[in-house]
Chain A
């Protein structure tokens, strides 16, 4: 469904992504893990068109989306839930969700189907419905994360890019959010690319994973294999360090 071929991205002179290639099949959940500065967020922003690639190609549903502006990428069906949630704090929950459907208001489909999708978001996150008139900035971190996901879903995407949805949240809330992601895949067949620091939780949810280091993919494979991989365990799961050293 999505394929990145030898993507290179620069921030000025800094070479942030070096020949990154990856792919996602339809309905797959794939996770990107890696340390700070490995290039995880950059991959998502390159797909979204916020920091365009300087070389390489991105194919989505067999069409190239490499040089598209961010709004065109959304139109093709890729929505991003940005890092740190970035909900619009002075706006109400409802306004935030309506902004998620920004491009759809211009198309011919009409408001009825948009309101239907808003109800769908409220079924996924009942807490948002209770707070629909509340200002987004006054909600807890978990609720804001739910809002950020709901907002992205309002664009009716085929594929969802999530940037560290677990950041700064209580373990129970993380569980709840990950359950919703699983449900989205089952009910809507949404394809999900998940960037996570919480490598263990992410690998448990995902089908496959890629490990990044300083802008390069150094390892890839099925999620359960990566969970057992000694190198991954040492570097990202923070467990059994001693054991590996002694071996």
Chain B
């Protein structure tokens, strides 16, 4: 327990000091995205890595949060601090209602159902032009304001987003170490065995699905208020797959793994800009190599690699 607390404190300190270490607005902007993607990857990881239920429609929940926040603050001139929880509650309820029938499905069928859900949400964004602005998007979304400070610069946004991200991380770390976390892993391993021990597996799956949607919606709202502009293209099927990749590359069932996956997949394309047209090939190749040689994800692969090098080094010296 103490070790966990130490790790989290260290991680938070590093996050809070980062703007002092790296300057430059562009990098700050990228790091804001790392924060948003970390929240999303954690949300999906709770569902996939802990409870063992796949979702290929999480970009949809992310988008719903962003659009609800956007519409409530522009068309209905609501305060962003009111719009954000309203959006989260609506998305949570929606996920709960949809979750009951679709979480009865397993494996490939659940993947198909959630895929369909994501696509439906995407189509709604595109087609309800009066409400969402259609394919050209929704602009003029206000920034968040707190005690006279408006979060309108990259550095301010960095602290805002990472404040939320750290809160989500702490909450998820606690959840995964609790009785509920154990029950989730039990459902993942054997639903029947979990049930005959008194875990209400069906309800628990719906609850974690709704929680995951609420976190995604929160990330979406934050995205809308920092970018001040949303369009359907950011919430398509491709992004759902990207989130899935972050979770798997980072490490299933690990909160810090979700951060590593999100960081890698957000930063890598930026670093590969210099490779011009070859960036996609290098990106794809790197992902393949990583899945082959680090099947447990970065969070387990990096320490293993480190041990290997250290052990080899010692053997070489002797």
Contact = CB atoms under 8 A, between A and B. Distances in A.
Given A86-B190, A98-B179, A105-B179, A74 B185 contact: no
Given A98-B182, A102-B183, A70 B196 contact: yes
Contact of A88 (B190, B195, B198): B190
A152 B196 CA distance: 9
Contact of B200 (A69, A80, A95): A69
Given A50-B195, A70-B195, A82-B196, A99 B189 contact: no
A79 B199 CA distance: 12
Interface in A55-81: 69-71, 74-75, 79-80
A74 B198 contact: yes
B192 interface: yes
B192 A90 contact: no
Contact of B183 (A48, A90, A99): A99
A91 interface: yes
B197 A100 contact: yes
* 3 closest cross-chain pairs (CB), A and B: A74-B198, A86-B193, A80-B196
Most buried by A among B193, B194, B195, B196: B196
A48 B196 contact: yes
Main secondary structure of the interface of B (DSSP, over half): helix
Interface string A199-225: 000000000000000000000000000
B196 A102 contact: no
Interface string B168-197: 000000000001001101100110111111
Interface of B: 179, 182-183, 185-186, 189-190, 192-200
Contacts of A105: 179
Nearest to A85: B193
Contacts of A106: 179
A106 B204 CA distance: 15
Given A91-B185, A99-B194, A152-B196, 10 more contacts: A50-B196, A71-B199, A75-B198, A82-B190, A90-B185, A91-B189, A102-B179, A102-B183, A102-B197, A106-B179
Interface string A148-185: 00011001000000000000000000000000000000
B197 A91 contact: no
A103 interface: yes
A89 interface: yes
B188 to A, nearest CB: 8
Interface residues of A, number: 27
Contacts of B192: 50, 82, 86
B50 to A, nearest CB: 11
A70 B189 CA distance: 17
Contacts of A71: 195, 198-200
7 contacts: A48-B196, A50-B192, A74-B197, A75-B198, A99-B183, A100-B197, A102-B197
A244 B207 CA distance: 59
Nearest to A161: B196
A90 B50 CA distance: 11
A103 B193 CA distance: 14
Contact of B186 (A50, A69, A88, A103): A88
B203 to A, nearest CB: 9
Contacts of B194: 99
A179 B302 CA distance: 48
A105 B196 CA distance: 16
Nearest to B181: A95
A90 B189 contact: yes
Contacts of A87: 193
